[in-house]
Structure 1
Amino acid sequence: MRIRPAAPGDLPALQDIERAAGAPFRDVGMPEIADDEPPSLGMLERYRSAGRCWVAADGPDRPAGYLLAEPVDGALHIEQVSVHPRAARRGVGRALIEHAAGRARAEGLTALTLTTFAEVPWNAPYYARLGFRVLDPDELPDGLRRVVAEEAEVGLARWPRVCMRRAVPPPVS
């Protein structure tokens, strides 16, 4: 897999990845998440044009996963990371997150943050294995509080969710 910035022509494939990656939520009693629409092409283009959308591409340069991020509270906040089931369990998500950590470091940001489902095995438990820790609600800075409120407005608070953070050490000089 090669991590690269998303190209305009990749965006419909990212929607397909999101749909496919959402399907397993049906098996854990979350059909609303499985049936949720992927990010719009307009939203994906906003992240892409801002340099905040990366894809993991396979041999024929076909996207197998993607990550969207934006700076929030001095950290690079992972808005979405999704991997197509055909590429699952091959380190694609980990590679995308490590790429994001490198980008954060290069931009002088001190951490990666994300919000995720607390009890879904490929969500919070997975991120914990990658070095993220759950933040207590009283630790949330204003930007993450805003993210949590926006997620609640669209119904994500229906299931237990957590905010997680992983420090990004400065470059070794």
Structure 2
Amino acid sequence: MLIRPARLRDAADLPAIEKSAAQLYGSAADLAWLADGPLIAQAEHESRILQQSVWVAEADNGILTGFISTEIFGTELHLWELSVHADWQRRGIATLLIDSAYRHAITQGLSALTLTTFSDLAWCAPAYAKRGFEQLPQPGPRLQDTLDAEALHGLPPERRIAMRLPVARVTAPR
């Protein structure tokens, strides 16, 4: 699996990956509506791709199987979306995509990765916790604003949390 920076032409394929990944919510209590919910607009994907903050997973046959979309806020890299096509889930692709964002944070001298997610779904907070993310009991203004905006869009605030993964500083050998 090749993980690479997204190209503008990839933006057209990302909504279908997001839509496929969202089918997981079809079996989640009170969240089935997310399976058919709104997707990130192609223009927004293009904007983040131009900011060099989107990475894609590409199979040997050239098919895109997943993506991660991020944005830098101050000294933190926020993960807006991590989606892996349903046909490719449970193969470690999400981990590879998170690793690419983490390496980017290191090269940019950032202090952490952040995200908001569901606290109670196995593929959400528990999966991120296994990768070292920790829940923020007091998210701070930026992440609280994100959680508030999600609530306005119908996501249940009692099930949403903010998480953070500190970035270890890599120093050159002496």
Is 2:17 the partner of 1:17? yes
CA RMSD of aligned residues (A): 1.3
Q: Where has structure 1 moved over 3 Å in runs of 4 or more?
A: none
Residue by residue, what CA displacement relative to the aligned partner does 1:27-54 show, whole Å, maximum 9, x if unpaired? 1121121111211111111111111111
Aligned equivalent of 2:135: 134
* Whole-angstrom distance in 2 between the partners of 1:2 and 1:51: 17
Aligned equivalent of 2:118: 117
* Whole-angstrom distance in 1 between the partners of 2:7 and 2:22: 22
Deviation at 1:92, TM superposition (A): 0.3
Residue by residue, what CA displacement relative to the aligned partner does 1:52-83 show, whole Å, maximum 9, x if unpaired? 11101110221100001011242101000000
Deviation at 1:21, TM superposition (A): 0.4
Is 2:63 the partner of 1:62? yes
Deviation at 1:145, TM superposition (A): 1.9
Is 2:49 the partner of 1:48? yes
Aligned equivalent of 2:87: 86
* Whole-angstrom distance in 2 between the partners of 1:50 and 1:134: 27
Helix, strand or coil at the partner of 1:69: strand
* Whole-angstrom distance in 2 between the partners of 1:40 and 1:114: 19
Relative distance call for 1:159 and 1:38 in structure 2 (3 A) is: farther
Relative distance call for 1:78 and 1:166 in structure 2 (3 A) is: same
Helix, strand or coil at the partner of 1:156: coil
The answer on whether the counterparts of 1:116 and 1:123 sit within 8 Å (CA) in structure 2 is: yes
**Deviating more after overlay: 151-160 vs 89-98:** 151-160
> TM-score w.r.t. structure 2 length?
0.93
Deviation at 1:141, TM superposition (A): 2.4
Percentage of identical aligned residues: 33
* Whole-angstrom distance in 2 between the partners of 1:33 and 1:124: 17
* Whole-angstrom distance in 2 between the partners of 1:7 and 1:131: 29
Helix, strand or coil at the partner of 2:37: coil
Give the residue type in structure 1 aligned to 2:43.
Answer: G
Give the residue type in structure 2 aligned to 1:127.
Answer: Y
Give the residue type in structure 2 aligned to 1:14.
Answer: L
Number of aligned positions between the proteins: 171
Aligned equivalent of 2:167: 168
The answer on whether the counterparts of 1:73 and 1:144 sit within 8 Å (CA) in structure 2 is: no
Residue by residue, what CA displacement relative to the aligned partner does 1:7-43 show, whole Å, maximum 9, x if unpaired? 2221221110111100120111211211112111111
Helix, strand or coil at the partner of 1:23: helix
